[in-house]
């Protein structure tokens, strides 16, 4: 991604600032949930959004011991606190206990950030201490019981349909979301669907899980306070726009489209966890949190959101693959998550979605930066069709 694009993207996340962050939130309870955000209005991308691959090149073989890859060109290179570059992603070994490794890694990152920001950003430092104090699971919001139950049922393909029906019957908001998706054009709704059972059958288990995840995430878009501006909404808009992109390009990576939708929808959820923690701190202290420099907030989000997201996947019992993929979605270094083609689709969807605000994505650079093995030519064609259909 070129510098102009970078500037425009940062301007989108932080109007009036030269550089940006991402957004997120966590806390025991879901505080002050916003009304379910509507699907973002996607700007019509220019014809040059995707810069197609220019030449054939040898695919990089997975090399677990290789040094960290260069930062992708579409990301700003922010200075990270000393010591973090060596520690991040240390949980990527095949046989790692992901939960324990994520906690250890998060602790290292929090400590490095505390040292970096100490004496400069007291409220942010307090927030870091909140994230690091006690059991991290208490900081990550629990999802509503009905949604958690339904998610567990959708993960088991042997679950009888009537069990799913009974969960949806007890939750009007889930039922509403189910029927809305079942009647959408994407699922080929030629006939109106008004029964829960028919909706479940029409969508299938994987798409049903995505309906549930969408509902869960909308409940996580909180109000951490004035210092955070629209960051939670911006993150939600990014996630909800990345998901259909990932589903569209999944075949280029031999990945399952509905799984790609799910992980893309979740990939930056660590930012929402961070924002929820800020909202909880704001409620507890009954005052607005102060952030002196958005660069500092940006750094916290950038450094923390992968392990926080991975821990959220663990808390919500979405499976080890989801934990690994969310915790390593920036592909900053080779690791075991590289063996999942799904991760490549998420990586590309993330970058392409960010570029939707203007500029272009150079697929040659993207493939090198992410150590991607999927077909760039096919991905480019799928994206072309996607944008043609969604214009
Ligand atoms: Fe991210
Ligand atoms: Fe992202």
Q: How far is the CA of 290 from the centre of ligand 2 (A)?
A: 25
Tokens of 275: 């924002």
The CA–CA distances, whole Å, from 92 to 95, 210, 324 equal 8, 26, 8
Separation CA 6–CA 10 (nearest Å): 6
Residue-wise pLDDT for 148-200, tens only, equals: 999 999 888 788 999 999 999 999 999 999 999 999 888 876 788 889 999 99
Task: Count the Cβ atoms, other than its own, within 10 Å of residue 163.
Answer: 12
Residue-wise pLDDT for 58-81, tens only, equals: 555 544 433 333 233 344 456 777
Q: How far is the CA of 196 from the centre of ligand 1 (A)?
A: 34
Q: How far is the CA of 190 from the centre of ligand 2 (A)?
A: 34
Q: How far is the CA of 163 from the centre of ligand 1 (A)?
A: 35
Q: How far is the CA of 390 from the centre of ligand 1 (A)?
A: 24
Q: How far is the CA of 71 from the centre of ligand 1 (A)?
A: 13
Can you give the pTM of this predicted structure? 0.80
Q: Which of 48-52, 141-145, 245-249, 386-390 has the lowest mean pLDDT?
A: 48-52
The dihedral sign for the CA sequence 21, 27, 32, 36: positive
Give residue 91's pLDDT: 64
- pLDDT, mean over the chain: 80
Give, as residue ranges, everything with CB less than 5 Å from ion ligand 2. 268, 350
Give residue 98's pLDDT: 86
Given 1.10.3210, 1.10.260, 1.10.405, 3.30.70, which CATH number is that of 112-140+223-391? Answer: 1.10.3210
Q: How far is the CA of 180 from the centre of ligand 1 (A)?
A: 28
Task: Count the Cβ atoms, other than its own, within 10 Å of residue 239.
Answer: 25
Residue-wise pLDDT for 274-304, tens only, equals: 999 999 999 999 999 999 889 999 999 999 9
H helix count then E strand count, the chain: 17, 2
Task: Count the Cβ atoms, other than its own, within 10 Å of residue 37.
Answer: 14
Separation CA 8–CA 314 (nearest Å): 35
Give residue 187's pLDDT: 80
Tell me the domain boundaries of the chain: 112-140+223-391, 142-219
Give residue 64's pLDDT: 42
Q: Which ligand approaches the C-alpha of residue 346 most closely?
A: 2
Q: How far is the CA of 350 from the centre of ligand 1 (A)?
A: 8
Q: How far is the CA of 192 from the centre of ligand 1 (A)?
A: 37
The CA–CA distances, whole Å, from 122 to 136, 267, 293, 332 equal 21, 29, 12, 29
Higher pLDDT, 296 or 38: 296
């Amino acid at each position: 991604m070129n510098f102009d694009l970078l500037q425009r993207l940062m301007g989108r996340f932080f109007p009036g600032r030269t550089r940006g962050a991402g957004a997120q939130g966590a806390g025991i309870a879901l505080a002050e949930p916003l009304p379910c955000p509507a699907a973002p209005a996607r700007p019509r991308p220019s014809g040059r959004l995707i810069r197609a691959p220019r030449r054939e090149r040898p695919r990089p073989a997975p090399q677990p011991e290789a040094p960290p890859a260069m930062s992708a060109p579409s990301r700003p290179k922010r200075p990270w606190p000393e010591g973090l570059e060596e520690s991040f992603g240390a949980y990527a070994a095949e046989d790692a206990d992901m939960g324990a490794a994520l906690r250890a890694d998060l602790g290292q990152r929090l400590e490095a950030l505390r040292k970096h920001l100490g004496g400069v950003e007291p409220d942010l430092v307090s927030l870091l201490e909140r994230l690091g104090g006690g059991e991290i699971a208490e900081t990550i919001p629990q999802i509503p019981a009905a949604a958690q139950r339904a998610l567990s049922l959708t993960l088991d393909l042997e679950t009888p349909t009537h069990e799913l029906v009974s969960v949806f019957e007890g939750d009007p908001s889930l039922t509403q979301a189910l029927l809305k998706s079942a009647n959408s054009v994407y699922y080929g709704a030629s006939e109106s669907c008004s029964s829960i059972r028919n909706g479940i059958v029409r969508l299938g288990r994987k798409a049903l899980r995505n309906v549930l995840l969408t509902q869960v995430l909308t409940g996580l878009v909180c109000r951490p306070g004035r210092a955070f501006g629209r960051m939670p909404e911006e993150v939600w808009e990014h996630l909800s726009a990345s998901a259909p992109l990932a589903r569209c390009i999944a075949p280029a990576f031999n990945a399952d489209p509905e799984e790609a939708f799910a992980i893309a929808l979740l990939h930056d959820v660590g930012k929402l966890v961070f924002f929820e923690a800020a909202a909880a701190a704001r409620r507890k202290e009954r005052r607005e949190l102060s952030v002196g420099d958005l660069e500092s907030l940006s750094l916290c989000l950038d450094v923390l959101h992968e392990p926080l997201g991975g821990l959220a996947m663990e808390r919500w019992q979405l499976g080890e693959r989801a934990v690994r993929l969310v915790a390593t979605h920036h592909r900053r270094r080779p690791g075991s998550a590289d063996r999942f083609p799904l991760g490549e689709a998420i990586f590309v969807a993330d970058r392409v979605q960010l570029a939707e605000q203007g500029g272009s994505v150079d697929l040659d650079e993207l493939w090198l930066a992410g150590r991607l093995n999927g077909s760039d030519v096919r991905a480019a064609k799928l994206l072309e069709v996607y944008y043609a259909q969604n214009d």
